[in-house]
Structure 1
Amino acid sequence: MSAKSTVLIVVCFLQIYIVNGQITCERQMTVEWRVEPKPNIIKWTLRENICSDFYTECWNMDKSITGDISEEQNLHVPQICPLQLQLGDSLFISSEPSFQLLGMNLANVSKEEFINCPKTGVLEEQLIFVYQVRGLHQVNPKWLGVGTHYFAEQHHKGPQLCNKGFRLNVTVKQQLCQQAPHAPLCSGHGRCLSHVWENAYNCHCFPQYSGRFCQKFDMCSTKPCHNNASCTEISQLPGDSYQCTCPPQFSGKNCTEIVGQCQPRTYFNGNCSNVTPNTFLCERNKGFTGKKHLYFLCYNSKCELLFY
C-alpha cells in the first residue's frame, strides 16, 4: 500500500470516529416555486453537514408545531441535511476524496432501511450509480420523481458509514398551481408556495381571490352588502357571485332600501312621499283614463288605492 493510500485511510477513520452529527440545518420553512429549475450539490462528507435529531437539528423545527407528524418523534438519525427539490431540479453528489478507497456507492432504500441502515447488501438495481463515487456525479433524473426518496451509503470494504450519517433524505415536489399547462401560476392572483412538511406546491391567494387556482374574485371582500347585512358567495347565480341577507328593516340587492319607505325606482310617473317610517303616499299620473291622478297609500310596500 502506498504512503498516499495509507494517509487517506487514516483521514477517513479519523472523520468516522471523531466527527458526530451536531449541526442544525439551515432551511426556509416556506419556499416559492421557481420558474427555472436549478442544480443542487450535496457534499458527501462527515465533516460539515451531518445532523442527528430528526426535528431540532435536521429540520430546525420545534416538535410541538409539527401537528400530526409524529411517526418520527424523538428519532436520533445521523444524516446529511435533508434536501427538498422541486420537480425538474438536478442533483449532484460531491464525494470526499478520502472515502473513494472504500469503493463507495449510493443505494435507493426503503424508509425503514434508511432509519435503521441496510443490514444486508442491496440489489444491483437499487444502486444510484453504475460505478463508484469519485469526485462530482449527477444523480440520474429517474431517481428524482415526485415523492420522498431515501439514499444510503453502500460500500465494498471498510466500516459501515450509514450509521455515521452517510444517508440522504430527498423530497421532490411538483406544483399544483396551474389550471392548464401554459396558464399563469395561481391565475396571477396568488403565490405558489410549499411548506417544509407539504408534499407539493399549492396556491396561496391574494386578498379578494379564492379557489384552488385563485381564479375566483371574492365579491364579498368588497363589502357590497350594507346595513350590517351578511354576504354569501354564490357562484351558481348567472352574472352575480354574491347574495346579501338583509336585516328585517332593509331590502334590495345590497340591502340599501328601507322596508316601508318609497324608493326612486318604485313609481316612474308620479310622486312619492314618506308619511311614517313604514308608510308612504304615492301619486301616479293615470294619463289614459281621463282621470288626472291616482293616489295610493302604501304600508310596508303593500299599496291600496285611496282615490282618483
Structure 2
Amino acid sequence: MTIKSNIIMMGFFFQAYIASGQRICKRQMTVEWRTEPKSIIVNWTLSRNICSNFYSECWNINISMDKNILEHQGLNVPQICPLQLQLGDSLFISSEPSFQSYGMNLVNVSMEEFVCCSQTGFLHDQLIFGSRLTGIHRVDTQWLSVGTHFFVEATAKGPLLCSMGLRLNITVKQQFCQESPTLPLCSGHGRCLSHMWQEAYNCHCAPQYFGRFCQEFDMCSTKPCYNNGSCTRKGEGLIWDSYECTCPPQFSGKNCSERIGQCEPNVCLQGNCSNVTPNTFLCKCNEGFTGEKCISFLGCIVPFTSDILFVEQQVIHELFMLTEKNFQTVAIELY
C-alpha cells in the first residue's frame, strides 16, 4: 500500500485523544449521513491535535494486520488530525495567537507538496484566505468541494512549521442516497452510510428492501409461492410482477395455488372446487382444513360453555398417558 493510495482513500472522521503518551487520531469505521450541515472548528496550533506516525497515529491503521505497509511503518508525517466532512459542512480555522505576528496563511497544495512540506513556488490563487490568520477564519466553499484537499501553513516570516505538524488533510464526501432531493434518504427503508475507505455515502437497505435507493420491495421475503414452490426475484417493477414462482409438478398459477386438472366430484373433500383455467382448478377449503384437496385437519372442535372453540394443533401443550388408570388424558391449552 503506497502513500498515495492511502491518502486518496482516506475517509476518516477524527477526534484527538491521548493514549500511551502518543497523540492518536480517533475515527469511526462507519459514519451516517447527517440531514443538517455541521460547523467544524480546527485549532491551528502545535499544542494539540498533532499526530506523528503516518499509519498508526494519523490514520489509526493496524500495521500488523497489513503486510503491505510493514516496510513503511516508521514513516513520520506530523500533521493535524485529518478530517472527514460532508458536502455542505462549514470549516473554520482558529489561529494560535502566538503565530499571528508571523503573517501566517494557509495554502492549498498537492499531495506531494503536503508530504514534503514544500514552501516554494506558491501562487496567489493557492492562498486559502485573503489576509493573514488572526482569530477565526471561515474556509470558503471553493476549497471544500468533493474530494481530498491538502492545506499547509505559509508564513511571511519566522520559522517554517509545516514539518512540525501545521498541515491538514480534509476529505469531503457527497451522498448518493436520494432518488430526488424531495424524497427521503434511502426511500425511508435504509440508512445512508459511508465506510472509512469509501469515497461517498450510499444506501444500506433494511431487510426485504433492495435497489440503489432501497426503493424496491422483495416480494419473495413474504413467501408468496404455495405448495412448496420456489420464489425468484425478477428485479425492478411493480410488486405483482417483481417475483416469479417455480411450481412443483401438478401445480400451476402465479403463486402455485392452482392444481393441474379439472374439478371432479369429491376432489376437494372439505371445500369447494372451482376451475381457474381449462387446465387448472383451485380448492377453497372450509374453515379448519387445508392442503391441496382440503384433507389436512388444522385442529379440533371442542365444546366449551355452549361456545364452539377452534383449537389449532400448535396450541397442544402437553400429551401424556396415564397407564396406571388405563386411560388417556389430553391436556390442551386454549388461547
Q: Does the alignment reach a TM-score above 0.5? A: yes
Identical pairs, percent: 64
Using a 3 Å threshold, how does the CA distance of structure 1 residues 201 and 237 change in structure 2: closer, same or farther? closer
Is the CA contact 1:22–1:50 (under 8 Å) kept in the aligned structure 2? no
- What secondary structure sits across from 2:158 in the alignment? coil
Structure 1 position 247, deviation (Å)? 4.6
How do 1:1-308 and structure 2 match up within 5 A? Answer: 22-63=22-63, 74=73, 75-226=75-226, 229-235=229-235, 239-248=240-249, 251-255=252-256, 266-267=262-263, 270-273=264-267
Counterpart Cα distance in 1 of 2:25 and 2:214: 33
Structure 1 position 65, deviation (Å)? 6.9
Counterpart Cα distance in 1 of 2:237 and 2:127: 58
Is the CA contact 2:45–2:96 (under 8 Å) kept in the aligned structure 1? yes
C-alpha RMSD over aligned residues: 2.9
**Matched residue, 1:12:** none
- What secondary structure sits across from 1:191 in the alignment? strand
- What secondary structure sits across from 1:200 in the alignment? coil
- What secondary structure sits across from 1:125 in the alignment? helix
**Matched residue, 2:325:** none
Using a 3 Å threshold, how does the CA distance of structure 1 residues 66 and 152 change in structure 2: closer, same or farther? farther
Is the CA contact 2:252–2:259 (under 8 Å) kept in the aligned structure 1? yes
Using a 3 Å threshold, how does the CA distance of structure 1 residues 119 and 134 change in structure 2: closer, same or farther? closer
Structure 1 position 158, deviation (Å)? 2.2
Using a 3 Å threshold, how does the CA distance of structure 1 residues 246 and 58 change in structure 2: closer, same or farther? farther
- What secondary structure sits across from 1:163 in the alignment? helix
Structure 1 position 133, deviation (Å)? 0.9
Structure 1 position 29, deviation (Å)? 1.7
Uncovered stretches (5+) of structure 2, i.e. residues with no partner: 1-20, 276-335
Deviations 1:137-190 (A, max 9, x none): 111111111111100111122222111111101111111111112111111111
Is the CA contact 2:108–2:152 (under 8 Å) kept in the aligned structure 1? yes
Q: Which amino acid aligns with 2:246?
A: T
Structure 1 position 271, deviation (Å)? 1.9
Deviations 1:118-150 (A, max 9, x none): 152411110111111111111111111111110
User: What TM-score does the superposition give when structure 1 sets the normalisation length?
Assistant: 0.71
Q: Which amino acid aligns with 2:204?
A: H
Counterpart Cα distance in 1 of 2:226 and 2:267: 23
Uncovered stretches (5+) of structure 1, i.e. residues with no partner: 1-20, 275-281, 285-308
Counterpart Cα distance in 1 of 2:237 and 2:30: 37
Counterpart Cα distance in 1 of 2:193 and 2:88: 16
User: What TM-score does the superposition give when structure 2 sets the normalisation length?
Assistant: 0.66
Using a 3 Å threshold, how does the CA distance of structure 1 residues 214 and 66 change in structure 2: closer, same or farther? farther
Counterpart Cα distance in 2 of 1:45 and 1:237: 56
Q: Which amino acid aligns with 2:212?
A: R
Deviations 1:77-130 (A, max 9, x none): 211000011111110001111122222111000011111111524111101111
Counterpart Cα distance in 2 of 1:129 and 1:202: 33
Using a 3 Å threshold, how does the CA distance of structure 1 residues 227 and 46 change in structure 2: closer, same or farther? farther
After TM superposition, where is structure 1 displaced by more than 6 Å over at least 4 residues in a row?
64-67
- What secondary structure sits across from 1:23 in the alignment? strand
